[in-house]
Homo-oligomer: A and B are copies of this chain.
């Protein structure tokens, strides 16, 4: 039987292999994002990557394997962004940094965000364990952190959990609902200036909303 895991004895070979895999993963990410797992077809992914369908099965044993790899890659990127919500620094710095990073991610990884959204909407059949371990742990520590801010009087008392959801929702909305946003923007993608302005607006409302930045804006 043909194996998809050859020894990587040759540097040039394995490099070319990685490149092809990335090509397929990129195409798959886009197709899965727009049509969901069930709606996506290997033929469509093949078309988007410019490769014959049989070639996809040479690199990825099944549609589910390919989907799994796509989702895992996205989770890695999410983790990188999550790390920017540092436990040190002022509340304002931590939140501003995290929101800004997540907004940038929504612009650069629109399809990844959509795949994640699709996966969760379907009940997270693949990533359920991530949600219960990594995501839950991350969330718990940040909630504890925010509770500390509240206890010290740095920010107003609000339920930290709903604040986090608000940040996730708002930032990811710019990726998941990009089409709607573009339609309401005369059918054109947001400009650099609009992205900056949106990011700043989100930061301002969130920060002021939890009691930071309140006295500063209106002199």
- Name A residues whose Cβ lies closer than 8 Å to a Cβ of B: 33-40, 114, 117-118, 120-124, 128, 131-132, 135-136, 139, 156, 158-159, 161-163, 165-166, 168-170, 172-174, 176-177, 179-181, 183-184, 197-198, 201-202, 204-211, 214-218
> Which of the listed residues A176, A206, A207 has the most CB atoms from chain B within 10 Å of its own CB?
A176
Task: Please indicate the chain B residues that have their CB under 8 angstroms from the CB of A39 in the complex.
Answer: 35-39
* A163 partner, pick from B162, B180, B201, beta carbons under 8 A: B201
A38 and B210 CA atoms in complex are apart in Å by 42
User: What is the chain B residue whose CB lies nearest that of A159?
Assistant: B201
CB-CB under 8 A for A184 and B34, given A179-B120, A214-B208? no
Q: Are A36 and B118 in contact (CB under 8 A)?
A: yes
